[in-house]
Every structure is written in C-alpha cells, then in structure tokens.
C-alpha cells in the first residue's frame, strides 16, 4: 500500500529525515512515534506530497508521489497538526467546499459530506458555525474533510493534541472505527496514544528509523516475574538450572502478597520457559504466589532506544 524507500530530507545543513525505509500494508494502524523534532511531521509531509524528499522515493498504492503527486494525493486523507479549518463557515458548507476541492462531482458532494458527518459524529452539528464547536468537535471536522473522498490511506498528525481526556477517548474510538476500511498512519509524541490505538509502531529518533515492530512484539519481555514465599531456599541455584533461564534477581517484597518475595528471571530463548520454571519450583517444595511474564512499557522501550541511539552516535 505504502512504500517509503531510503527517504531523506535536508533543510540546509540540518538533516530532518535520514534514510528511512518503510512498507505499510492495507488495513494497518501505524503509530509514528518520536520526540519533538524527530522528523515525524517532515516524513508525513513528504508522504502526502507537500514536501519533496532530498533523496529516496515514496509510492502510495503503486503511484509514485514525485511522478504523480495528485494521483497519490487522491488516495490520501490528511489531517495536519494545525488543520486549516475556516471557523466562520457552517460545518456543512465547509465540508461541501472541501468535497469540491477534492474533485468530487457535484451530484456526489452532498452524499459524501453526509457520510463523513455520520462517520465522525457531526450530523447534529452540520448547521453550526465551526467557531461554536469545542476543540474536540473541530478535530472531528478536520477528520471529516480528510475522509470525504473515501481515501485508502488516512494520515493524522497529532489528532488529539490539546484535547481533554473525554475528547481524546472520543477521537480514539473514531480512529478505530475508521480503521475498518482504511490504512491509518498516526503521528504523535504521546506514548499513551500509540498504546491505545496502534497495532504497529515506527520510532524516529533524530530523523533515523530506530524501530519498526508490531506493538505486541515491542512490549514483549524476555523476563518472568515469580512470587515465592519468603521461606523458599536456594532460589537462584535451582532456577539457574532451568534451561532458558539466564539470570535470577531478587526484586524485594511483593506488595500485593505479604510474606512473598518477587524474583525476576531473565530468559535467553524466544519462548519463555514458564512451564519448566513452575515444575522446578514445585519440585523444590516452594509455595508459589504468582508467576507472570513481565510486560514492558512503551515509555521504557522508547527510553532504551534513545540511549542506544545516543551510544551509536557517540561511538561513530
């Protein structure tokens, strides 16, 4: 659906995006994550044809963005971070104007505006001036204009920026509904946004592609947490003999289970040896309070990727 091949963008001596390559398939919800200035918006502008890359190539639905910008843009719906919404217009008038600008035939514009309004929950506000809407509903207007032409790809740049928690939840639910028929790229620096909405994560750090992985894989851990009663003996010796266990560390008292100690088991194989650990614990006569795979946080993963990036830069 989307192919980004070795794309870079320079602003004078500053490299905003450096050699990024991605392939995004139809129906994916991809979170483009990075700190402010990481290159997210620059990459989105190149994908949507608003900026030309210094080098590299981008194709949407088999259409090269450089060779046929309008052909590629017809397949894309775009909500920039600061959407150009004319607040003095009525919602319906704005959507009809955008339908015309999108090139929809006159006989299709009213129906297209109606479908977009229903999809974004705006049908009760069609005759309202945009200036009277809350910020959350203005964001809905921005998304409505982006989906008027039934695009195959929807690009959303910071769609929940500045919204309150209730508005954020509404936009998240809207994105999930839209994803049933559309490939969505969500650019954000808010980690919770990615965890709540996306099934794949692309991390940019200083213009470089630092990580590209399914969210579940990114948060997966090679550690097991085992809670044992405090009278368990020779824990490290016994567990280090379990195939696949490489390190055993006591983490301290279990706050949820008084009288228990939590042990962290770092594992070396692709699959966690949970069953073997349980057998070893039972054979040792220990009383087990809990055993769970450790789940990483996106914040922790992002910080680790930043440290690794800094180390590579300093070493080069």
> Where do the domains of the chain lie?
2-218, 221-293
CA separation for the pair 189, 203 (Å, rounded):
10
Residue 53 — very low, low, confident or very high, per pLDDT cuts 50/70/90? very high
Token pair, residue 47, equals 């994908």
pLDDT reading at 270 higher than 80: no
pLDDT at 24: 94
The DSSP secondary-structure symbol of 292 reads E
β-strand pairing of 55-60 with 63-64: antiparallel
Summarised one tens digit per residue, pLDDT across range 38-51 is 999 899 999 999 99
Same CATH topology for 2-218 and 221-293: the answer is: no
DSSP-based three-state secondary structure for 54:
coil
The architecture CATH gives domain 2-218: 3-Layer(aba) Sandwich (3.40)
pLDDT reading at 261 higher than 80: yes
Q: Which pTM does this prediction carry?
A: 0.79
Q: What percent of the chain has pLDDT over 90?
A: 66
CA separation for the pair 153, 182 (Å, rounded):
6
pLDDT reading at 269 higher than 90: no
Q: What is the DSSP string of 232-260?
A: --SHHHHHHTSTTEEEEEEEEE-SSSTTE
Residue 164 — very low, low, confident or very high, per pLDDT cuts 50/70/90? confident
Residue 149 — very low, low, confident or very high, per pLDDT cuts 50/70/90? very high
CB-based contact 63:19 (threshold 8 Å) = no
Summarised one tens digit per residue, pLDDT across range 68-115 is 999 999 999 999 887 778 999 999 999 999 999 989 999 999 999 999
The DSSP secondary-structure symbol of 286 reads P
The architecture CATH gives domain 221-293: 2-Layer Sandwich (3.30)
Residue 165 — very low, low, confident or very high, per pLDDT cuts 50/70/90? confident
């Amino acid at each position: 659906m989307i192919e980004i091949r070795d794309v870079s963008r320079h602003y004078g001596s500053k490299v905003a995006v450096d050699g990024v390559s991605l392939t995004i398939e139809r129906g994916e919800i991809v979170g483009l994550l990075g700190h402010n200035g990481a290159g997210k918006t620059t990459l989105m502008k190149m994908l949507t044809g608003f900026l030309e890359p210094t080098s590299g190539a981008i194709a949407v639905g088999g259409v090269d963005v450089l060779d046929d910008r309008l052909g590629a843009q017809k397949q894309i719906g775009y909500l920039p971070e600061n959407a150009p919404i004319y607040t003095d217009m009525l919602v319906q008038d704005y959507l009809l104007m955008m339908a015309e600008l999108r090139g929809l035939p006159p006989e299709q514009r009213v129906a297209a505006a109606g479908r977009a309004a229903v999809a974004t929950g705006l049908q009760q506000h069609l005759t309202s001036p945009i200036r009277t809407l809350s910020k959350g509903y203005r964001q809905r207007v921005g998304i409505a204009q982006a989906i008027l032409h039934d695009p195959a790809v929807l690009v959303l740049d910071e769609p929940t920026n500045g919204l309150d928690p209730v508005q954020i939840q509404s936009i998240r639910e809207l994105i999930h509904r839209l994803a049933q028929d559309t490939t969505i790229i969500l650019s954000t620096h808010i980690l919770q946004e990615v965890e709540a909405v996306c099934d794949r994560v692309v991390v940019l750090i200083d213009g470089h592609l630092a990580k590209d992985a399914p969210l579940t894989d990114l948060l997966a851990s090679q550690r097991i947490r085992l809670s044992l009663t405090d009278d368990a003996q020779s824990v490290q010796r016994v567990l280090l003999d379990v195939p696949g266990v490489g390190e055993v560390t006591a983490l301290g008292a279990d706050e949820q289970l008084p009288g228990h100690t939590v042990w962290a088991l770092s594992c070396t194989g692709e699959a966690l040896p949970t069953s073997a650990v349980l057998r070893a614990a039972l054979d040792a006569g220990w009383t087990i309070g809990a055993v769970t795979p450790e789940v990483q946080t996106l914040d922790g993963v992002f910080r680790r990727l930043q440290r690794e990036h800094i180390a590579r830069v300093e070493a080069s």
